[in-house]
């Protein structure tokens, strides 16, 4: 990855953090995405097309979670509504 591409990637990652970790609206949307994707739910028996859609949704939220560096404990706390704060507020501007 070139220097310019690395800079763009870093800017994108910071934008994800700024939005999802440091704004109330971002936190609400992130929680909704986790629930809507069924990330913490069992797939059960479903049609192939439904499973493909579900896994695509899960892959996207996994990408967001990875960018935000949310660990499993934080994820479960968010999903169960027991999270107090997500992320490192020291870096918030």
Residues in the chain: 93
Write down the pLDDT at residue 9.
Answer: 92
Provide the pLDDT for residue 13.
94
Percent of the chain with pLDDT over 70: 88
Asked if 26 and 92 touch (Cβ cutoff 8 Å), the reply is no
Mean of pLDDT values over 25-31? 93
Contact at 8 Å (CB) between 91 and 26? no
Q: pLDDT-derived band of residue 85, with 50, 70 and 90 as boundaries? A: low
Residue 90: band (very low, low, confident or very high) from pLDDT cuts 50, 70, 90: very low
Provide Rg for the chain, Cα atoms: 15
User: For the whole model, what pTM was predicted?
Assistant: 0.74
């Amino acid at each position: 990855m070139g220097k310019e591409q690395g800079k763009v990637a870093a800017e994108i990652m910071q934008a994800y953090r700024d939005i999802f970790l440091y704004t109330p609206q971002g936190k609400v949307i992130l929680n909704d995405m986790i629930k809507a994707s069924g990330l913490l739910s069992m797939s059960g028996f479903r049609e192939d097309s439904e499973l493909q859609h579900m896994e695509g949704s899960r892959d996207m939220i996994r990408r967001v979670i990875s960018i935000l560096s949310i660990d499993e404990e934080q994820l479960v706390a968010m999903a169960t509504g027991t999270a107090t704060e997500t992320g490192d507020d020291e870096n918030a501007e």
